[in-house]
Structure 1
Amino acid sequence: MALIAFAANSVLGRLALTVAHLDPYSFTIIRLTSGAMMLWLVLQGRNVFSAATSSDKNNHSKAQGSWLSALMLFLYAVTFSIAYLSLDTGVGALILFGAVQVTMILYSSLTGAKLKTAELLGIALAFCGFLYLVLPNLSSPSLSGFVLMSIAGIAWAGYTIRGKQCDDPLCDTSGNFIRSLPFSLLLLLVFIFIPPQLSFDGTLLAITSGAVTSGIGYALWYVALRGLSATQAGVVQLLVPVIAALGGMILIAEPITLSFVVASLMILGGILLVILQKNKKTP
């Protein structure tokens, strides 16, 4: 469910930025603000339900999170939005998920987690399938777009790694979004030099992206991270472009191509190799 939300989020972002012509700074501010509001409402709703069904009337959950996680969330959101103005979808996905993969594999290595041969083969197979999927749409990226999307990938990997330490996914995600709002307010300074480009459709897309596919989706991701290692969390995200492409085939009747089928099988096979190692004991 989290990966479906990620895929939908990419589509909503691209539509808002390129079709509805919403500027990336407004998109980021609206996205994070609506995400914070939605998560706060969900958290209050959970507290009301808990109070009604529990004998402990003082058992109220509060937004937690951390400033470091909030900063990573903000960095990812703003660099992702700006980068996609100068990158094609395929190139942006390659840079983003490539940066995520490298960062999380390096983290696993630095923290003493040794990758098994099957895991390495699985990572290689999944990434080759990912390359095969996006390769036909690749073009030379701009330097600024490459740097910004790389920062987005590193920041998202950091946000994911931080999520493995959370105790309450809803409380932590709510706190992270709320703490990201002061950083978002700094983006208002940009409008001193660059006038905002607002539209009704773009604003609606940004609200949906923030409240549903970002806010709720990221909370689900923190729940999922409890059962995934850093390496597994990195490699399963390669499914996002596959889900996005599959959504296009279902929703707008895009043809199912042989390359899509082959790439999907490679990615799924690679992920399976990595996931199956979880319960195996190291000799």
Structure 2
Amino acid sequence: SFTSIRLVAGAITLWILVQASSKRRAPGGSWPSAFALLAYAIAFSFAYVGLTTGTGALLLFGAVQIVMIAAGFFGGEQIDRTLVLGWLLAVAGLILLLLPGITAPPALEALFMLIAGVAWGVYSLRGRGSRDALGDTAGNFVRSVPGVLLISALFWTHRSADLEGTALAALSGSLASGLGYAAWYTAMPSLGAIVAANAQLSVPVIAALAGVVLFDEPITARLAISSALVLGGTALAVRRKLTPQGARSSIGT
């Protein structure tokens, strides 16, 4: 229920924004990107119910890292010591943040989370060629709606949604998913695959810091250190400009 409401709300919000923009045009995107988005959302919804937050995040972001770094490596993006250092710092910070919640995962849920990570990595990579982030994201969301509604119909007897849950799902779809994914597609062309993979590691830290600001959650030494490692490592990678080096990349200076 949550996933279907989230994607439908995101599609509606983005379609309205595209139509209201100064350059009115049909939503862009593509079917392969929409399929990757749908696969991510569905696999994640099946996975998270059986995993702890720490375990799920490590599986998800681990799969994302492998897909995106491999794509950048074989696509000719340069990898130097600064980028490697930034990535190692960010990974260390993420593990420190999530370590208390890591447990041995159930096999099926772990598989679904790995599928979600691969799908999100593919969806992100397809954003490298986007020239209209809002229009492309809108088109991808709109194309994903028939699929998510079909899957929701197949699991209709397992639905669970009250008014508050529906409202939260709609807000999540409109803001966090719809507008957030459009912002991500805006950044992807200038980041490159490897730096974008590094930037993904900051998501759990930003979410934890948002909990401190919005919900008065305590600031622990572990959160402070992990935040410094992840955000510092991400900053090292993002500030570095990637340059193509042919079919493969090498570790330089």
* Same fold by TM-score greater than 0.5: yes
Superposed structure 1 runs of 4+ greater than 4 Å apart: 279-283
- Partner residue of 1:144? 108
Q: CA offset at residue 279 of structure 1? A: 6.5
Task: Letter of the 1:277 partner, please give it.
Answer: R
**Corresponding residue SS for 1:150:** helix
CA contact (8 A) 2:78 2:242 kept: no
Q: Which TM-score applies when normalising by structure 1? A: 0.82
- Report the equivalent of 2:17: 42
With the length of structure 2 as denominator, give the TM-score of the two structures. Answer: 0.92
Q: What are the equivalent positions in structure 2 for 1:118-197 lying under 5 Å apart?
A: 118-191=82-155, 194-197=157-160
Report the Cα offset of residue 31 of structure 1.
0.9
Matches of residues 243-262 of structure 1 in structure 2 within 5 Å? 243-262=206-225
Look up the SS of the partner of 1:107 in the other structure: helix
Cα distance in structure 2, aligned partners of 1:147 and 1:254: 32
Partner of 2:81: 117
Counterpart code for 1:249: V
Residue 252 of structure 1 deviates from its aligned partner by: 2.2
The match for 1:203 among 166, 173, 176 is 166
Shift of 1:182: 1.8
Which residue of structure 2 aligns with residue 219 of structure 1? Answer: 182
Greater Cα offset, 65-74 or 244-253: 244-253
Equivalent residue, structure 1, for 2:229: 266
Q: Give the aligned length.
A: 246
1:126-165 deviation per Cα after TM superposition (whole angstroms, max 9, x unaligned): 1011001100121221111111111111101111100111
The 2-side partners of 1:251 and 1:215 are apart by: 21
| Residue range with higher mean Cα deviation, 89-98 or 109-118 | 109-118
2:239 corresponds to: 276
Partner of 1:85, secondary structure, is helix
Q: In 2, distance between residues paired with 1:35 and 1:270? A: 31
Aligned to 1:32: 7
Cα deviations by residue, 1:156-197 (Å, 9 ceiling, x for unpaired): 1111100111111111011000111121122134236x3322
Is the 8 Å Cα contact of residues 34 and 141 (structure 2) preserved in structure 1? yes
Task: Tell me the distance in 2 between the aligned counterparts of 1:158 and 1:86.
Answer: 24
Q: Distance in 2 between matches of 1:160 and 1:280?
A: 19
Paired residue secondary structure (1:256): coil
Cα distance between partner residues in 2 of 1:63 and 1:228: 24
Distance 1:137 1:108, change over 3 A: same
Note the C-alpha offset of 1:117.
2.1
Which structure 1 segments of 5+ residues have no match?
A: 1-25, 51-58
Give the 3-state SS of the residue equivalent to 1:84 in structure 2. Answer: helix
Structure 1 position 211, deviation (Å): 1.2
- Of 45, 61, 65, which residue of structure 2 is paired with 1:81? 45
RMSD over aligned CA atoms reads 1.8
Q: Distance in 1 between matches of 2:242 and 2:114?
A: 32
Who is 2:249 aligned against? none
Q: Percent identity?
A: 44
Measured after TM superposition, the shift of residue 275 of structure 1 is 2.1
Q: Distance in 2 between matches of 1:94 and 1:161?
A: 20
> CA–CA distance in 1 between the matches of 2:107 and 2:71?
26
Once the two structures are TM-superposed, the CA of residue 114 in structure 1 deviates from its matched residue by: 3.4
